[in-house]
Amino acid sequence: MGAKASSIEGAAHHCAASARGTRKSFAKARPTCKPRAVAWLARLWAWLLAPPPGARLPSSLDDEPERGASDEPVVMPIEESIDLHHYAPRDIPSVVEEYLLEARKKGYVEVRIIHGRGKGVQRTRVQKQLERHPAVASFRSDGLGSTLATLHPPKRRATRREGR
């Protein structure tokens, strides 16, 4: 056996030899073995968690913005349906609000809001938003993970020929 294997066996033999005898001697042996193991594990974790050489660490978490976070709005094309799977749950009420306003301006009479099946948490949030929205005439769930909303037609502006 190599030198490494014999030193490991020697350390194990030392711990086992000091543990022989009465309970009193076993209790004395544990503290001599345990700190070595703890120190070894601490060095291992420090080595595994150490940043690579030359890596720059931020001075605080506030220095760098979140990945993908931006204060600027994202412009999306308005279609007959919107899939909410791509949005963070906290953003869904504002996304639905803006989508309904823009869909109504585009002249859509019926839109599909895809929220997914699951436990119904997103469906409930979306339908509560639809209940409060002034552009929605009615809505119904299709049972396939989406809600169909019927919109009021956009208000026409009065022209001068109509008398105002």
Question: Which three-class secondary structure string do you get for the chain?
Answer: CCHHHHHHHHHHHHHHHHHCCCHHHHHHHHHHHHHHHHHHHHHHHHHHHCCCCCCCCCCCCCCCCCCCCCCCCCCCCCCCEEEHHHCCHHHHHHHHHHHHHHHHHHCCCEEEEECCCCCCHHHHHHHHHHHHCCCEEEEEECCCCEEEEEECCCCCCCCCCCCC
Specify whether the CB–CB gap between 84 and 146 falls below 8 A.
no
Specify whether the CB–CB gap between 151 and 101 falls below 8 A.
no
Which residues, in sequence order, are CB contacts of 18 under 8 Å at separation 6+? 25, 28, 29, 32, 33
The 10s digit of each residue's pLDDT in 96-148 is 999 999 999 888 999 999 999 888 889 999 999 999 998 899 999 988 999 99
Between 17 and 129, residue with greater pLDDT: 129
Mean local confidence (pLDDT), 74-98: 87
**% of the chain residues with pLDDT over 70:** 59
CATH number of 81-151: 3.30.1370.110
- What's the pTM? 0.51
Domain boundaries, given as residue ranges, for the chain = 3-48, 81-151
Question: What does the pLDDT read at residue 24?
Answer: 54
Question: What does the pLDDT read at residue 154?
Answer: 74
Mean pLDDT of the chain: 74
Q: Which two tokens stand for residue 34?
A: 């345990």
Question: What does the pLDDT read at residue 34?
Answer: 66
Is residue 10 very low, low, confident or very high in pLDDT (cuts 50, 70, 90)?
very low
Between 156 and 5, residue with greater pLDDT: 156
